[in-house]
Amino acid sequence: MASEEGSWVFDSLVGFLQGPIWNAPILTFIEQKSSVFEPGHSEHEDEFRKIHEEYKDLVDSMLGSYMEDIGMTPEQFENACSKNTAGGLHIRFHQTLFEQVWAANDYEIFKRMMIQKNVELQLQALEMIQQRYGITPQSFLPTERDESLQTEEESRIMEEVIKKSLEEYETSKKMLDSSTLEIEQSLVSSPEERHRLEAECKREKELLHTALQHSIEPSSQKEEPEQNKYEDNEIQIKTQVDDTEVMKRQKYLKAQRDKLLALKKQEREKQLQAVESGSSKQRPRSAKAAQSALAGQPENNAQTLQVRKALAERLKSEVVGRKS
């Protein structure tokens, strides 16, 4: 009976973490806040840590609302986490979801996750610009790390975002000035910016993977990504394009990233509203917490610190067990 109880808890939990009630506020927070996490900008460490505290509060709020909806106390959840359930959690639990939970407990994981997301979003913005000109580049998403039920859901959101972006562009392109058009065309026709972002993205994924390995297994001695290889790549790109031109492109690309984020948030809000009528009956506290978080007013739930830590430890044991 204990095993059955633990299995039921995790079946319910995985369904919750893969659904829009969790994804809408969590992914929106990660994407919106990632814009300040630029690679190599360690001088913003205090701001990074403040955002990490906000993220912990959000994760605790969402887990706490879920616990209330299923009528389970933190002690009961911790007890369920300590049991060996049949089948193992790792079969159903995706790496990205593990990172989202683990990042709330580990600042270094959080920082690496946010930097990687920042670069990925700039790549998505570049892809969106290319599609305006009829070019469909080889998408960097989904990667092997992102293959999951969640990826399918996010892919649908991206399809809607790209569709809306194209519609808005068609409406406004006659009003674009010549300098804006020139920047867009240079981004589309020149490979330098894409190569730079791809190099950064690859490096940040390696750094995140290494940080996860060290966090899960402190004795792990996996070597760091080759710093010189990344620096050589960046130097080579900079010699091909004027520094002023590079800055213009990057500034414009980041502005497009901000537009992309706004469109994504709108789509997630619509998605959340679409399931809210049914979910608000099944998960009234979770649905309310998700709406509050999207409105920028996450609810505090200090009791769920115990839940988050118990869940993180269980996930850690699953990941280590999968490798052994």
Query: Percentage of the chain surpassing pLDDT 90?
Result: 16
The answer on pLDDT for 220 being more than 60 is no
pLDDT digit string (tens) for 171-202?
887 787 888 888 888 888 878 888 888 899 89
pTM of the shown model: 0.82
Query: Percentage of the chain surpassing pLDDT 70?
Result: 74
Bond into 298 cis (ω within 30): no
Write the CB contacts of 307 (distance below 8 Å, at least 6 apart in sequence): 60, 63, 64, 67, 74, 77, 78
Distance of CA 195 to the CA centre of its chain: 22
- Domain boundaries along the sequence of the chain: 2-323
Of 49-63, 67-81, 244-258, 304-318, the poorest mean pLDDT is in 304-318
Report yes or no: 301 and 202 within 8 Å, Cβ to Cβ. Answer: no
Q: Which CATH superfamily is domain 2-323 in?
A: ADP-ribosylation factor-like 2-binding protein, domain (1.20.1520.10)
Residue-level pLDDT at 168: 84
